[in-house]
Amino acid sequence: MQLIDIAVNLTHPSLAAQAEALLERAYAAGVCQMLLTGTSLAESEASLALCRRLDGSGERLFSTAGVHPHDASSWNGASADRLKALLGEAEVRAVGECGLDFDRDFSPRPLQEKALEQQLALAAELNMPVFLHEREASQRLLEILRDFRDRLPAAVVHCFTGERQALYAYLDLDLHIGITGWVCDERRGTHLHPLLKDIPGGRLMLETDAPFLLPRSLRPKPKNGRNEPAFLGEVLREVALHRGQSQAQLAAETTACARAFFALPPLPERAAAES
């Protein structure tokens, strides 16, 4: 059984220091391919460098490149050129993490919208999929996306935690949906359980967002409290339960979906299990 983790923040200091061991554990757990998330221009460059350093085969580790809404204040005239150069690298498979965050508002909303629109324009120009972040901003994100959607090959709302109305609106725009260990959180994630079965199999992907969002249902829990790709199976278990699917069926569906979305190479079962 193969799994693909579409969001690993491997440049985070808590993970980067043990990256080799973390990847070995992930491969042993069946997580055969991963997307390393770029959240700023510097972090996007660092994610690309990790792909090259840690994956000699060029078949397991890939990355995204973009500017997160938290960092939208840093977007300037040179940012688009720098990002465009990154997006031309073979390992970089999507534009992002970009989007809107009206929950924390670390960057002013007009600057968030400007950075998002310019990144969507780049994605349209380069015919690349988009890796989206959204918190408390679904309506505005939808308004902006509608102007670009016909020119974008695909887009995924990563770490979806919203309500039914937002989910249906995203699906109506033919967006993909990424689900994390948020669904394993009995305090705040149970509203997602009845919605999971409404996501078409061809548009659902799984992610850890490591080192964040450690599944609360995981047993035993790691003493350090950090999430990692090896724990993606717990997300698979919870999502399969509420979709009424076997874990093997859901793994096959989400892996095929991620491979198609990010244009990842297929791996034979035997190769996928080898670190």
Tokens representing 274 are 């080898």
Q: How high does pLDDT run on average in the chain?
A: 96
State the distance between the two ends of the chain, measured CA to CA, in whole angstroms. 15
Instruction: Report the distance separating Cα 242 and Cα 63, nearest Å.
Output: 30
- pLDDT, residue 275, reads 46
Does domain 3-273 fall under CATH 3.30.470.20? My reply is no
**What pLDDT digit, counting tens, does each position of 203-244 carry?**
999 999 999 999 999 999 999 999 999 999 999 999 999 999
Residue whose entry in the numeric block shows the structure tokens 């299990």: 273
Given pLDDT bands bounded at 50, 70 and 90, which one contains residue 272?
Answer: low
Instruction: Report the distance separating Cα 232 and Cα 186, nearest Å.
Output: 17
Please give the backbone phi and psi of residue 45, each rounded to the nearest 5 degrees, phi first.
-65, -40
Q: Do residues 5 and 201 lie in contact, with contact meaning Cβ atoms separated by under 8 Å?
A: no
Instruction: Report the distance separating Cα 198 and Cα 182, nearest Å.
Output: 17
Helix (H, G, I), strand (E, B) or coil at 211: coil
Q: Does residue 97 have a cis peptide bond before it, meaning omega lies within 30 degrees of 0?
A: yes
**What pLDDT digit, counting tens, does each position of 3-25 carry?**
999 999 999 999 999 999 999 99
For residues 55-74, average pLDDT: 97
DSSP 8-class letter at 47: H
For residues 29-51, average pLDDT: 98
- pLDDT, residue 274, reads 56
pLDDT of 201 above 80:
yes
**What pLDDT digit, counting tens, does each position of 125-165 carry?**
999 999 999 999 999 999 999 999 999 999 999 999 999 99
Q: What percent of the chain has pLDDT over 90?
A: 96
Instruction: Report the distance separating Cα 15 and Cα 169, nearest Å.
Output: 35
Produce one character per residue of 54-77: b if its CB has 16 or more CB atoms within 10 Å, e if not.
bbeeeebbbbbbbbbbbbbeebee
- pLDDT, residue 270, reads 61
